[in-house]
Every structure is written in C-alpha cells, then in structure tokens.
Structure 1
C-alpha cells in the first residue's frame, strides 16, 4: 500500500545551487493521515425470538444407560436419530450482515473413526452427524452464507455415544454442541444448542445369567419303613444341581444371584417339608431339599437365600443340593412324589 507513494514529495532548494532532492518527505504526514481514517467495522449483531438465547435441541437417551466396558474403543454405546423438530427445535435468527453457520461440539475432538467430542463421563465421547447439507460429522461449516437462519424442524441429526476408553460411570448432562453464526471479525452468535434431556446415569453392565437346567428330576432310592426310626428321621439323600450359564459384565462389577423354592402342591407352605402330590400313595413321609447341610424352607416371599456373587468371567455356576425322605408320622407304604418350583433373582 505504501509503495504507491514512493517518490512523492516537493522539490527543495539547497545552498550551492545543488539539484533539488526528491524523497518521501511527507511519509510521516501521510501515515498520520492514514492512521486517522476510520476503518470499517465488522461487528455484527443478531437477534432471535428466544430472548437472544440459542434454541435448545434436546435429546433423550435411555435412563439409566447401561454400558459394557468389554466393548472396543470406537464402538457405539447408544445412538439416537431424530429430527430437529422432534428435539424441540424451531424459530430463526436474523443478523445485520451475512454470516456462516458452523456446527461444532464443545471441547476438543479426537478422531476415533470420526471426530468425537468429550462428554461428562470418562470413556464416553459424542459424535454428531448432520444429515442436512453440507452433511457429515461435526465440525462442519454451512455451504452458504446469509443474514437469516431458520432452525429446520425436518432436518435429521444423529447423536452417537462412542466408547473412547475405560468407562467409569457417572451422568451425562448439559449441552454438548452448538450451531454458531460466525462473523468476519471473529465474533459469534449461538444459533442452537444441543443438549441432553436431564441427567442420564451411566451404569456399568453386570454379568448376566440364564438357567440351563429348567427341569430337574431326582429319583430317590427305595427306602424301608423300618429304617425310619422316629419322626424326623431322614434317609436316602441324593445329589442334584441347578446350573446357570453366565456371561458379560464389566471389570469391577458383580451380579448377586438369589434363589427361592416354592411348594407347588401347597403354595402357602413355609415349612421345610415338601408336600406330596395327589399322585403319591404313601403317607407319613415328606421330602426335603438340602443346601449346605440344612433343609431349605419353602415360599419365595419369605424364604429367599443368596447363592453367590457372579463376577465377569464366571461362565458356569452350579448350585448343589440334596433331596431326601423325612418321616412326619405313621408311615403307609407307597409312591412318594413332590414338586418344588425354584425362582432365580439377579441383582
């Protein structure tokens, strides 16, 4: 810019008749004049119908959000795809000059197969995909400029919660991204804010189990009446087991396995004697189910017992029992049959 003034000046006379010298004698004056000129201002203001606050786009995830630390980094923990209208978006922003619309998450993103922004929970990041032009993952810039911007209620957006490392648990809450109107002077105006609906607890996944022996038949050996010396005498114990197949779970978690037994013939029975079915022809005897040397009391409402804690890596759990006869009175010989129903409870 200054080079266009090179050589400007006025001829000056010096003693001795020397030729007048030409030079940029007015540079300081020109600089002063130039510095004194008003420069154009790029500061632009915007308004909207939401009290000049960004329009909220709210996303609802399952609560609590159960996650598994055994997932690989980069895998999607949970995802939601909805329109901005369904997320509560609506309205418009108007500016005094053309702007560009930028889509950016909060914080510095890292590349985990795509740009992933941090969340409030260690090990979970957020990737935002915009289906509208220009399309793609945040961050991105609109493919046009303008002074008026509408929150497009039909525009689709996808929020991916991505595993980025060991997940510690906690809660997802608050804003995680903005669409921002940016001006030439570097100032900006938040157009929309992307946020979680309330607080979403993040719970580490516990091991899960399923019964692999839903029907267990125990055939006791025949007993002699004379061997039942007195009421309460027990005979002919036989081992059996209930088995579970367990899998999954995050390091540091466990699943408590509880169990209860009910008397199918007499559901209200809370004693240690399993009633005989109508198919039985004997009398004066009952059946008992024994665990760890003690007869189990029936009724799942009042007589639940703990089996064990299942940890990640426990693939098979066998629950050992014994079945036996017990004398309850004067014995009549015949067939003995009882049916117990077991219920598993996991927590």
Structure 2
C-alpha cells in the first residue's frame, strides 16, 4: 500500500514540476543599465608595506583605510536582486578563531584581511556590512525616482591571525564585486595585487609591569607635585631587535583607570582609596609624558640591540588631599618600525 501511495505522489509531483517549468520560462528578469555613461562604482585601496611586531596578538589591526566611490544611477526593467562579495575567497578561508569577525586568511602566515562596504552609509565591521564570499543578498534593490542610486563606501583592514611570517600577500584574492542581477555596478580593488609583510623581531621583555610607589605626607607637595615616588623598576625593556628599526612608545587612555588633562593618571575609586591625588609619568629627563602621544626611544637599532626606557612616577595634587591607598592602571604600547 505504501508503494502505491509513493507512486501516485511521484506522478503528481511530475505534473507539478512541468507546471513549474512553464511558470519559470515566463518569469521576468531585470535588465540593468548604468546611466550617464558612467563606469561601475569603484573603491580602490592602496595598502603600504606592513611592518608587524613579533609579539602582536591575534586581532591586532596593522592597517586600516576607508574610501568612497562616486555616485552612479542604475536603471532596471524589473526589481533587481543584489549579488555581492569576494569572487575568489571561500568560506573555509574565514578565521572564526580570530577575536575580530569577518577576517579571512591570506597566503602569508599570521596575516588576515577583512573589508566592509555599504551603499551611501558609513560601513562598520558588523555582520551586515562585512564583505563575504560571493552570495545573493536577501534584500532586493530599492528603487528611487525610477532608478537605483549607488555610492559605495568601503573599509579595509589587515589583521594579525597568529605567529607572523614575512612574505608577499596576494591581495588580489580579495577583489569583490557588487551586482544588480547580471550587471556589475560596483568593485572593490587594490592599487597593487601584492603587499609586502615585514616581520620584526624586537622582543618586549615584560608585558605587565608592577610599579611600587612610596608613601608621602600631604605636606610634601610643592606646586601641586610630589617628589619622584617610583624606583628603577619602572622601565620598559626591549631586546633582540632587528637592525634599522625605530622604537616608539606611548601610554594610552584606553585601558587605564582614567586620565585628566591628558597627563594625570586617575587612581582607582576603591574603598579606602586616597582622594585629591593623581599620578604623572615622567621620562628620564623629568619631562611629563602625555597620554596617547608617541615618543621615540631609539631612531635606529643595531642588530641584536637591547633597549631600556627608564620612567618615573610622581603624585599630582588634584584637590583636597585625603590619605588612603593608591592603585592605578595604565596601558603602554611599544612600536618597532
């Protein structure tokens, strides 16, 4: 009995398939034309040579650029489907293990790439804007005044995906297209198909540094500053450098316990914490360092050179001083270029 039912269903299915074929043969397909004799909208990126620190963590952005195209108008005979994405990248190239989304592995170990694009709005690296391998968009093109308007805005980034090797990235792999049905209306491309990656071998000796601070009395402030309250343990140390590298460093507001006036590190607001004081960081010449500003430690290293950047800390009076403990955190970054 079941066999008979299956056979009957098969016959009905055949009839439905024949009807479906007839319907498909008469369906309208959009024919799209770019107006005003303009070419397709194009975004062009020009990545420079990439110099990557040996201790760069996965998710570190080592290059970022934004570009916009001119505006084009596209006329279509029917509602057009959007097709877009990389034309030579597979879903298996995506680095799902990377802290950043939408990163695809290049041919150079440790180097990934991602891009985002939108029509008219500012692109972000969120799911809807990220460029993916070739696919059909779920939304049809929105028609305005009898035609479609397209202005491509794009962003591109190189991202660390693991231990980095030197080499030549074939960036041409990440060319992308934007189509309305069968008509290419937008491109994402590059000024050169190859980008050089140089791997530096400077080594940051300590990534986390604890700096003990001496106790002082409220009466010890002169012109709102104290004496130096740190010792020679407050330093940044780099060793095993390549020849010809420039070493820069900075302290950043991001990741700190807060910064006032660009150079006063706020102390943590904790129970029993002191009040009315902050901390200033000085270089070896007693110059106060500004947060988010880069300073050069060495203009050109020799092969295998070790570099020490001595630093100092002092208290800064920000208001009425009340005794208590002092804890603060600051993030520093070291660049080898």
Q: TM-score, normalised by structure 2?
A: 0.38
Query: Whose helix proportion is higher, 1 or 2?
Result: 2
- Choose between structure 1 and 2 for higher RCO, CA contacts under 8 A separated by at least 6 residues: 2
Find the structure with the greater CA-based Rg.
1
User: Is the strand fraction higher in 1 or 2?
Assistant: 1
